[in-house]
Chains A and B, each alone.
Chain A
């Protein structure tokens, strides 16, 4: 039976993971763009990304494009698996008979 994931279940991290998992495997999203999609502040997004990276669920890649620093974020295989388990657990809760 699938289990809820404590790290992913936090509302902001759930949004971050939902956004990253929506990308194709290997695709990365720009930090600024992710912040706009999720309507978060730099600090808030950065803190939650750090927590997810610490868990091995995402990977950040800092680079320069046209001489400007850019940070790209993508979900790892481990993160994708954990997210799938988490959504499966949510579905099981919905489908389970009411007590």
Chain B
């Protein structure tokens, strides 16, 4: 088959345009919305904890309740809109991911009750790394690379915060590095092909 240089150039331009259009569909998937929501919640909770330490439980429980409600609404909206892009085993994987998260939190609180940490930072670092452990496992499981790398990166920043940053600055360190990483990844997914 012989085609001219102009025809080849037109074909390649067409390929780029269609690829960009398709990728915009991915950008509207709920993953990015959930990461943005939880990134903002973590940032607000860490900053709130730094400045209003006495209210730490109210801050975290209140913001996590808002996050859980927002997550429910986003997932429900996603399901109703019938996401145009899916993984082959979406439903099965979705159910497994839900139960994995539920069990992770049950076990995390069981472990906390056994270990009885002495300091709030220990509780926080434990829960952050437990949540990031879930990201890593889900990333490997569902072959979602950004989940794997995000989980490893935030685990790293949490360990740096726990071992190397003075305790009084722990929350200020975690707000941008942990919450910011979630928010940044969500925004990156949403905006990368716009």
A residues lining the B interface (CB < 8 Å) = 4, 6, 9, 11, 14-15, 18-23, 25-30, 32-33, 37-38, 61, 65-66, 68, 70, 72, 74, 87, 90-91, 93-94, 96, 98
What's the minimum C-beta distance from A3 to chain B, rounded to whole angstroms?
8
Instruction: Report chain A residues within 8 Å CB of B86.
Output: 27-28, 30, 72
Instruction: Report chain A residues within 8 Å CB of B88.
Output: 26, 28, 61, 72, 74
B61 interface contact, C-beta 8 A: no
Quick check: B25 and A29 within 8 Å, CB to CB? yes
**In the bound complex, CA of A93 to CA of B9 (Å):** 9
Instruction: Report chain A residues within 8 Å CB of B122.
Output: none
B12 interface contact, C-beta 8 A: yes
Quick check: A23 and B87 within 8 Å, CB to CB? no
At the interface with chain A, which of B15-23, B63-71, B95-103, B156-164? B15-23
Quick check: B18 and A30 within 8 Å, CB to CB? no
Instruction: Report chain A residues within 8 Å CB of B115.
Output: none
Counting residue pairs across A and B whose Cβ atoms lie within 8 Å, the total is 87
B1 interface contact, C-beta 8 A: yes
User: Which residue of chain B lies nearest to A83 when distances are taken between CB atoms in the complex?
Assistant: B15
Select one of B4, B11, B12, B85 contacting A23, CB under 8 A.
Answer: B85
The total of chain B residues at the interface (CB under 8 A) is 27
User: Which residue of chain B lies nearest to A21 when distances are taken between CB atoms in the complex?
Assistant: B19
**In the bound complex, CA of A61 to CA of B87 (Å):** 11
Chain B 1-39, CB-CB to A under 8 Å as 1, else 0, gives 101110011011011001111110110000000000000
**In the bound complex, CA of A94 to CA of B19 (Å):** 20
User: Given A9-B1, A94-B8, A98-B5, does the pair A23, B15 have CB atoms closer than 8 Å?
Assistant: no
User: Given A38-B18, A94-B9, does the pair A23, B26 have CB atoms closer than 8 Å?
Assistant: yes
Quick check: A18 and B19 within 8 Å, CB to CB? yes
B residues lining the A interface (CB < 8 Å) = 1, 3-5, 8-9, 11-12, 14-15, 18-23, 25-26, 79, 82-88, 143
**In the bound complex, CA of A72 to CA of B79 (Å):** 16
What's the minimum C-beta distance from A42 to chain B, rounded to whole angstroms?
16
Select one of B14, B18, B87 contacting A37, CB under 8 A.
Answer: B18
Select one of A18, A25, A27, A93 contacting B18, CB under 8 A.
Answer: A18
Quick check: B21 and A19 within 8 Å, CB to CB? yes
Other A-B contacts than A9-B3, A72-B86, 13 sampled, CB-CB below 8 A, are: A14-B14, A18-B15, A18-B18, A19-B22, A23-B22, A28-B88, A29-B85, A37-B21, A37-B22, A38-B18, A66-B79, A91-B8, A94-B12
